[in-house]
Structure 1
Amino acid sequence: MANIKDIARVAGVSVATVSRALSTPSLVRPATIERIEAAIADLNYEPNHLAAGLRRQRSDNVIVAVPSIFNPFTSAFVEGIENVARANKMRVLLGITEGDIDTLNKYVSMIAGKQADGMILLEKTLPDIVRNPPTKSKMPPLVAACEYPPDITLPRVRTDDHEASALVVGHLAELGHTRIAAITGPLDQFMSKDRLSGYKLGLLRARIEVDEAIIATGDFSLQSGYDAMLRLLDADPQFTAVTCANDEMALGALSALQQRGISVPDEMSVTGFDDLRFGAFSSPPLTTVHIPTVEIGEAAMRLMLDSLLQPDQVSASREVILPHRLIVRQSTAAPKKRRKA
């Protein structure tokens, strides 16, 4: 396989000149660039990527910053980004931050170093450059997806989690439930706050008083859903339905209910959020809100491409909102009197 030394030999230049041409083409004479491009083509050394990169001064890499890869939502989101990136001969670099701001800032520095062209953020944490925008240079291409603070302006893709949560509470209220508990996500995340406020909106619309005693906080994991469900049952066993801020926590809640001998949906209705693939195969199959997770990733990548190809036409306030819908399965039903444990 050809390498950078082979390119230098065929082009009749030094290895340093080839390296400079690839990283900072503005510092290399146009005639030399042409010879290097011709050598890349002759050697078939990633011709579509490197030769085009020389002309456009782009790496054709996009970083996707995520806190973790263990959440199925994240996997589906990255799948959508990869779909569009591959079709446009772009490469996806996955940056796992674990919520660490220094790690996130290092990924941003890769854009300044021409190792990447932009970044898509699925993060509650934002890089320093967003909180303190540069005054003498342009903001690097950044796109936020799902997680973003309302006081920061970035191009973004999201669903209306507020209305989606109200919708699922409305479904439970229509079935006749008047004591509806909630298991939220971590409340330092904007998405979790939206889903909690939507839950309260749904109660308000159904003329049901909000009871903070039957609201428990989780962290979007199976274990946290299980633990939160047990806390709710120990604190107030009178509620007849629980809405969970994601499907993983709903599955954890189902496990806790099974352990306590509480039948779903006969004695307790349970809803999730996101409509991840496993929800249709839980026992019973999970009523949930469908969030087009793959499509969110695809839309975020298209917005990134627009930011790269037409930077003057993509406003920092540009927002893409994708539709949600309620998926009714067998985990919800009209309330019945619960057996005594």
Structure 2
Amino acid sequence: MTVDEPNSDAALKPRAKVGLKEIAREAEVSISTVSHVMNGTARISDEVRARVMRVAQELGYLGMRRQRANTGTLSKLLLAVPAYGLAQTEANLFLWNILSAFRTRCAELNIALVPHSPPGENLTAEGIVQAAASNACDAVMLMHDDRPELLEPLAAVRNQLPPTVLVNGEDPNMNLDTVSPQNRFAAGRAVRWLTELGHRRVLHVTWGGRTTIARRRDGFHDAMAQVGIPAHEASVLSFQTWDLALAEQVLSEKLVEIVRREKITAIFCAADNVALHALNVLRRAGIRVPEDVSLVGFDNVMHAEMSSPPLSTVEVPVNHIGSVALRLLEERLIEPFDPTAPTRRVELECRLIKRASVAAPAS
């Protein structure tokens, strides 16, 4: 039997109207005391301050106050995304999910988005600077494009840019604030799970071109090194660039051959879409998952849970990436300009999702 807890979600939902008066009543203090706590205008005992802040949080006041503080600070944002990133396709589920959650958050905060996605594969520093200036944007969010050919020219024109953050990418020179998933450590955690189950002949399926994907490969090597398998001895199947047709071709031609030749017992793929294609290739060859080979992906796209068997994967917090990036931009806009202030790199925790596609290796 399930018993409803009296202080569950209902107690945490904001009331219709929450102000200092309501907080004072619940915390059993004066309105002036609440005002002093919120504004730091007088010394208040730690006990009283903690009680007031707890009540303010439970009533939803702190969230509303934070949202009001941001109103007007960031009103128009240039969203710079490579052209392929805006298409809702099977190959682009991960980035599309990030974009969808981000658009919803901007609508909630009344932030106008100005898309910048010129034709072709690549963004340019000149194009981003011109688009931000011509649209009078308060800030720039650059998504998914961390090529040196773009980041280095952007660094050279930083004084012409409003506050800018790179999302789902890395800037090795730390010229831009960045927000990305915990790619390396999360990948390592997934592969360590496989090795803890007893798998030693683990194949990594990946592709070249993006820093975030390279970090997942690093995590694979980290975990394999911990069980005595150095990088030059670890099994890796890599195709040149991300393209579903190319991935399907490479997997069809090489995956089964490698699995059989090297007696692979587990596969870790750099993305769920690749893992799902690998699952189909293995099934056509009569190789069972997980009885013969365990399979793990990365991203936790919707299709992963619906596959047969359901795909074990690493869940990326797509609903939070954009919100964290917005907070970085808002802080840059609020803070006094300081050219010596260090840039910030934020990594968000990713969770390992254990499903039926993984089992201990057959003896």
- Paired letter, 1:113: S
1:197 is aligned to 2:218? yes
Work out whether residues 64 and 121 of structure 1, in 8 Å CA contact, stay in contact via their aligned partners in 2.
yes
In 2, Cα distance between equivalents of 1:217 and 1:96: 29
**Which residue of structure 2 aligns with residue 319 of structure 1?**
345
The amino acid of 1:96's aligned partner reads S
Aligned match for 1:65, one of 77, 81, 84? 81
Matches within 5 A, 1:11-50: none
Equivalent residue for 1:270?
295
Tell me, in whole angstroms, the C-alpha distance in 2 between the residues paired with 1:206 and 1:250. Answer: 24
How many angstroms apart in 2 are the aligned matches of 1:215 and 1:201? Answer: 14
* Map of 1:170 onto structure 2: 192
Which position in structure 2 is the counterpart of 1:32? none
- Deviations along 1:223-281, one digit per CA (max 9) or x if unpaired, are 44433433132245211111000111111111111111111011111100011122111
The change in CA–CA distance for 1:292 and 1:224 in structure 2 (over 3 A counts) is farther
Match of 2:129 among 77, 100, 108: 108
Q: Which structure 2 residues correspond to residues 79-94 of structure 1 after superposition, within 5 A?
A: 79-94=100-115
Per-residue deviation, residues 80-130 of structure 1 (Å, max 9, x unmatched): 32233222211123333553244x631331112244222211212325642
CA distance in 2: counterparts of 1:62 and 1:211, whole angstroms: 43
Partner of 1:148: 170
Percent identity, aligned pairs only?
Answer: 27
Sort the Cα spacing of 1:302 and 1:59 in 2 relative to 1 into closer, same or farther, 3 A. Answer: closer
Q: Which residue identity lines up with residue 134 of structure 2 in the other structure?
A: G
Alignment size in residue pairs? 278
User: What CA distance in whole angstroms lies between the structure 2 residues aligned with 1:269 and 1:285?
Assistant: 11
Aligned partner of 2:269 in structure 1 is: 244
Please say which of residues 193-202 and 143-152 is displaced more in the overlay.
143-152
Shift of 1:284: 0.9
Mapped partners of 1:333, 1:270: distance in 2: 9
Structure 1 counterpart of 2:330, from 286, 294, 305: 305
Give the aligned partner of residue 180 of structure 2. 158
Partner of 2:361: 335
Say if 2:300 is the partner of 1:292: no
> CA 1:328–1:220 in structure 2 vs 1: closer, same or farther (change >3 Å)?
farther
Amino acid at match of 1:202: A
Tell me which of 213, 238, 252 is aligned to 1:217: 238
SS in 2 for 1:312: coil
**TM-score, length-scaled by structure 2:** 0.69
Secondary structure of 1:275 counterpart: coil
Further displaced range: 297-306 or 213-222: 213-222
- Flag structure 2 segments of 5+ consecutive residues without an equivalent: 1-71
CA RMSD, Structure 1 to Structure 2 (Å): 2.6
Q: 1:311 to 1:194 in 2, by over 3 A?
A: farther
Pair 260,57 (structure 1): closer, same or farther in 2 beyond 3 Å = closer
Secondary structure of 1:233's aligned partner: helix
Is residue 137–residue 162 contact of structure 2 (8 Å, CA) maintained in 1? no
Q: Distance in 2 between matches of 1:232 and 1:282?
A: 19
